[in-house]
């Protein structure tokens, strides 16, 4: 399979390129500096040059709070940029696998969200990612959208790295919210699922997040315990931690279309810690 991975400089993009090559696929990875997905001409040229069968779009505006003050810029990447890729791919007979997010939901559910549940994003980030879903699926029914949640991986900013950095810096206490529940997903595990989706020609919307769920507070406790840090984790709420963008209280994803779930989030944490720089490990 010939793959083109956009956003290849990010933690998911890096893991996806590595996994594709490890499985023997031809893979071109283009980081943000090599391909601006908001430029239709650049997108067309890049796809013509790489001649991929499948494009996995990991390029995204991921600054959730920053999107609140510059939604137009976030939409240019997450919405129009995804559409540029989807339409250029269609012209070449290629398929797109678009990576999306749990933030397309409002977090008021009492059971895991599945693919057919109605969307209602709370934030500019969620709205722009949902716009990207619409752009991709409107371009062709052969494209796919994979929603995931709470990503963490090597080589990028994420919640696990933040917690480990605080501990390594000498913090012995940290306040973490108890009212955000989700599925912490290791990018190494998600990369394998994205390859599966690409290879099998899956279409439409698919949810792919780690098995099981926990609160941010519970996740922080697990991180410190697994890494061997004695850090006290106290309880706080989202309201007490003023952020520009609202986060869904309930971000648990499940699938009604896939019977091969990702490994449990605790397994992902162990895999991440095995890769973590020694500077942030005891």
DSSP 119: P
In this structure, which long-range contacts are made by residues 137-141, counting pairs with CB atoms below 8 Å and at least 24 apart in sequence?
137/204, 137/205, 138/83, 138/86, 139/83, 139/86, 139/87, 139/89, 139/90, 139/96, 140/86, 140/89, 140/90, 140/95, 140/96, 141/203, 141/204
Sheet of 26-30: strand order equals: 26-30, 2-6, 54-57, 95-101, 144-148, 204-207
- CA-CA distance, 175 to 229, in Å (whole number)? 15
Tokens of 156: 């990028």
Active site residue 103: no
Max Cα-Cα span within the chain: 55
- CA-CA distance, 282 to 275, in Å (whole number)? 13
In terms of phi and psi (left: phi > 0; alpha: psi -120 to 50; beta: otherwise), the region of 85 is alpha
User: Which SS3 state, helix, strand or coil, does residue 85 take?
Assistant: helix
Q: Which residue of the set 103, 113, 125, 272 is catalytic?
A: 125
For the CA atoms of 32, 53, 25, 115, the dihedral, rounded to the nearest 10 degrees, stands at 80
CA atoms within 13 A on the CB side of 110: 0
Which residues form the catalytic set? Answer: 125
């Amino acid at each position: 399979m010939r793959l083109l991975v956009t956003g290849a400089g990010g933690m998911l993009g890096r893991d996806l390129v590595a996994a594709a090559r490890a499985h023997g696929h031809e893979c071109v990875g283009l980081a943000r500096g090599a391909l601006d997905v908001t430029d239709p001409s650049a997108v067309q040229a890049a796809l013509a040059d790489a001649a991929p069968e499948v494009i996995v779009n990991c390029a995204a505006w991921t600054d959730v709070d920053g999107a609140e003050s510059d939604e137009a810029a976030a939409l240019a990447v997450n919405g129009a940029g995804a559409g540029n890729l989807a339409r250029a791919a269609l012209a070449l007979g290629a398929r797109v696998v678009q990576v999306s997010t749990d933030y397309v939901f409002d977090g008021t559910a009492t059971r895991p969200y599945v693919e057919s549940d109605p969307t209602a994003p709370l934030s500019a980030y969620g709205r722009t990612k949902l716009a990207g879903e619409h752009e991709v699926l409107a371009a062709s029914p052969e494209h796919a959208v994979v929603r995931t949640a709470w990503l963490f991986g090597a080589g990028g900013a994420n919640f696990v790295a933040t917690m480990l950095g605080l501990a390594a810096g000498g913090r012995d206490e940290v306040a973490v919210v108890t009212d955000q529940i989700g599925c912490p997903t290791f990018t190494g595990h998600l990369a394998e699922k994205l390859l599966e989706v690409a290879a099998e020609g899956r279409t439409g919307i698919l949810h792919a997040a780690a098995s099981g769920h926990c609160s941010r507070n519970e996740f922080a406790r697990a991180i410190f315990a697994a890494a061997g840090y004695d850090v006290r984790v106290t309880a706080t709420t989202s309201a007490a931690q003023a952020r520009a963008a609202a986060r869904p209280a309930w971000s648990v994803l499940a699938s009604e279309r896939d019977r091969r779930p990702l490994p449990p989030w605790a397994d992902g944490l162990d895999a991440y810690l095995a890769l973590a720089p020694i500077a942030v490990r005891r």
